Amino acid sequence: MAYYGDLIFEKSVAGRKGYSLPTSEVEEYTLDSRFAREDAPELPEVSEFDVVRHYTNVSFKNHGIETGFYPLGSCTMKYNPKINLELSSSEKFTALHPYQPVETVQGILKIYYETQRMLSEISGMDTYSLNPFAGAHGELVGLMIMKAFHEHNNESNRTKVIVPDSAHGTNPASAKVAGFDVVEVRSNCEGDSCDGTINLEHLKEVLDEDVAGIMLTNPNTLGMFEKDILEVARLVHEAGGLLYYDGANLNPIMNVARPGDMGFDITHINLHKTFSTPHGGGGPGSGPVGVSKRLKPFLPAPIVRKAGDLYLIDGGAEESIGQISHFLGNMNVIVKAYAYLLSTGRRHLAEISRLSTLNANYVKESLKDDYELPVKENCKHEFVFDGLKDNDEVRAIDVAKRLLDFDMHPPTVYFPLLYGESMMVEPVENESKQTLDAFIETMKHIAKEARENPETLKQAPYHTPVRRLDEAGAARNPRVKFKDLL
């Protein structure tokens, strides 16, 4: 219950302050009217209690990983140690200036260099650039490298990029932005159940001398490991194309299997998904791009290099695609990834991979009698249901909304587009068996409600600060200003 208004502006009382300063010992000075504003700034006038309570309460109106389970498939809302956040906001990093002489910033350059090395080792690539700001940005950079490579070899005719029908939307979008034509390749299906793995026969059909490359994520967006990856790599390379690895699903294969060993030539890694940066609300991110040896000259500039004992900022090779971000990328995110990698260590990275896989399979097997499971095999870190079992009335959106009443974030719904009622569940490695069991129990309870009283689900949620929203309307006609609400 709000006792005086929901917005901080409505709590405002003229003259109320949240601070008290000692009497000034400096003589008052009146600013020349040229520099003074004409109207008061309309800031809320509130006490310290008002402001702290207001924002604390507002923070609880949203669901976050600090408040409950968050199995949002494909987005990997996993454990991000708070100590890494604290570390990366240390003045030792934030007070650095990008134009300082390199001798005075050896520490941060060492962090960059060693992060480049560790990512190379984890993914089996030769070198990384840490410059891109997100996965999608990494995709664009990777495709620009692909283009530059083919142009360098006088093969500008290679204008087609192949993406599977299960791909994340950013893949075809990036290919388009980079100036390629997108060709879709079908996944393997039995009847109407498709598992998202590449159909080799169809791949052979679409491979020709105009193909620049293929974009894949492995495991794919259905959580299935691409078992024919070596054959895919052989076919694409034989046709003169390159393989691009979308690293958003690296979580279940870290130090278990390496994209480089599978035949990938270019990769991006979403540091904000796999390596310790919380990313709700769209940022901040980092999407380092790694390449095999033959593509190294095309990497964007600048890049951190080591010469003897000195770390240097290298302007890049002559073939470089150039600069794609200001300075060296998103330092704050890179520092968190570095801290995470060092504190986790090689052996435990593999353990994270195995636990994320175990947890996903545990949840999948526990719920497959209540929810339609198109792909029955073992998954990696995530899997997809296609709605409720034998129930067309209650939809994925209804299940998602009802979960909010039980203080759990819904899975990703309506992605991937292979199924009509996709619910993509990614439990992640750090959740306890008790939390997973609570989720399973809640999902079973919702399935029972769907059978016995579907109308309950159609009206959900009941216990959230707002009920079911007009989501399309909210996106098309957003009202984001205080005055608009009045």
Ligand X SMILES: *Cc1c(COP(=O)(O)O)cnc(C)c1O
- The continuous run of DSSP H or E covering 163 comes out as strand 160-164
* 426 forms part of the interface with ligand X (CB under 6 A): no
C-beta of 246: minimal distance to ligand X in Å? 5
Assigned token pair, 253: 């294969």
**Vertex 372, ends 367 and 375: CA angle to 5°?**
95
- Minimum CB separation from ligand X for residue 286, in Å? 8
- Which residue in 210, 195, 123 sits closest to 164, CA to CA? 195
CA distance 245 to 122: 13
Interatomic CA distance for residues 329 and 118, integer angstroms: 17
Interaction mask 54-93, ligand X, x per CB under 6 A: --------------------x-------------------
CB 303 within 8 A of CB 129: yes
Applying CB under 6 A, which of residues 72, 109, 118, 136 lies at the interface with ligand X?
136
| Alpha-carbon distance values, 128 to 115, 287, 288, 333, 348 (Å) | 9, 10, 6, 15, 22
Per-residue contact flags (x/-) with ligand X for residues 90 to 129, judged by CB under 6 A: ----------------------------------------
Find where tokens 């491979």 sit: 207
Residue 381 touches ligand X, criterion: CB under 6 A: no
Q: Which stretch binds ligand X (CB under 6 A): 133-141, 152-160, 399-407, 440-448?
A: 133-141
Q: Which is nearer to ligand X, 284 or 454 (CB)?
A: 284
Binding of residue 246 to ligand X (CB under 6 A): yes
Q: Total number of residues binding ligand X (CB under 6 A)?
A: 14
| Shortest spacing between CB 249 and ligand X, in angstroms | 6
Q: Is 290 in the site for ligand X (CB under 6 A)?
A: no
Residues ≥6 apart with Cβ < 8 Å to 203: 162, 185, 214, 232, 235, 236
CB nearer to ligand X: pick between 136 and 183: 136
> Does the protein bind ligand X through residue 135 (CB under 6 A)?
yes
Determine, following the binding rule CB under 6 A, whether residue 221 of this chain makes contact with ligand X.
yes
Sequence length of the chain is 486
Nearer to ligand X, 286 or 344 (CB): 286
Q: Does position 134 bind ligand X by CB under 6 A?
A: yes
Query: Which of 260, 287, 316, 329: binder of ligand X (CB under 6 A)?
Result: 287
Residue in the structure block whose two tokens are 């991937």: 416
Binding segment for ligand X (CB under 6 A), chosen from 143-151, 158-166, 243-251, 323-331, is 243-251
Q: Least Å distance between CB 185 and ligand X?
A: 16
Cβ atoms of residues 363 and 439 within 8 Å: yes
Q: Least distance in Å: CB of 213 to ligand X?
A: 16
- DSSP symbols for 85-149: HHHHTSHHHHT--TTS-GGGGHHHHHHHHHHHHHHHHHHT-SEEE---SSHHHHHHHHHHHHHHH
Secondary structure letter of residue 31 according to DSSP: P
First to last CA, the chain: 19
- Contact track, ligand X, 139-168, x by CB under 6 A: -----------------------------x
In the chain, the amino acid numbered 122 is I
| 3-state SS class at 247 | helix
Looking at beta carbons only, is 249 or 357 nearer to ligand X? 249
Q: 141 vs 460, which CB is nearer to ligand X?
A: 141
Regarding 285 and contact with ligand X (CB under 6 A), the answer is yes
In the structure encoding, which two tokens stand for residue 59, read together? 């923070």
Q: Which is nearer to ligand X, 146 or 248 (by Cβ)?
A: 248
3-class state of residue 212 by DSSP: strand
Q: Which residue is nearest to ligand X (CB)?
A: 135
Q: In the bound complex, what is the minimum distance in angstroms from residue 262's beta carbon to ligand X? A: 16
Q: Is 170 near ligand X (CB under 6 A)? A: yes
217 near ligand X, judged by CB under 6 A: yes
Task: Point out which residues bind ligand X (CB under 6 A).
Answer: 74, 134-136, 168, 170, 217, 221, 246, 248-249, 270, 285, 287
